[in-house]
Amino acid sequence: MNPPIVAVYPGTFDPMTLGHEDVVRRATQLFGSVIVAVAAGHHKKTLFSLEQRIEMVRDAVKDYPQVQVESFSGLLRDFVVARGGKAMVRGLRAVTDFDYEFQLAGMNRTLMPDVETVFLTPSDGFQFVSSTFVREIALLGGEVHKFVSPFVQQKLHEKVRSLAT
């Protein structure tokens, strides 16, 4: 019997949205093992620390025993190869995502010829949800409960309160 195919779902997850959760759920239906790889975010200024983002992701995937959460820094290629990844999962919300993701997939294929990129679209209700929008809404005092889990909503409220003091 072949070992389960390992898929890696990378991102900054700042914060984890219901759209991200939906992509994880879909990935678990396709792959025997899914690693949600939380990027240290050296290229982005994140609202949450790496440890906070990992905590939110772990809470979101706690019902999926085949999902692991790990952080990474440096080249994603090194992380995927070290974990025996055979697929990389990427979420596509709209046509605007496609151009960037297509270029990224091409570059990743050059760096990791044995790893396939698999694009998954979230359910209709989450196609417009992005971490950027969620952060902006929360920072401006808006309601985000339709876009994130209760745990992430709590963490967003705590962060907004801490920034106001």
Q: Which one from 20, 25, 86, 155 is the annotated catalytic residue?
A: 20
Distance CA 57, CA 130 (A): 15
User: Is 131 known to be catalytic?
Assistant: yes
User: Is 155 known to be catalytic?
Assistant: no
User: Is 93 known to be catalytic?
Assistant: yes
Q: Which one from 58, 77, 83, 93 is the annotated catalytic residue?
A: 93
Residues 6+ apart with CB under 8 A from 114: 86
User: Is 83 known to be catalytic?
Assistant: no
Other Cβ atoms closer than 10 A to 101:
16
Omega into 10 within 30° of 0, i.e. cis?
Answer: no
Q: Which one from 131, 135, 149, 159 is the annotated catalytic residue?
A: 131
SS3 content of the chain, % helix, strand, coil (to 5): 45, 20, 35
Distance CA 146, CA 74 (A): 33
Q: Which one from 44, 145, 146, 157 is the annotated catalytic residue?
A: 44
Q: Cite the active site residues.
A: 20, 44, 93, 131
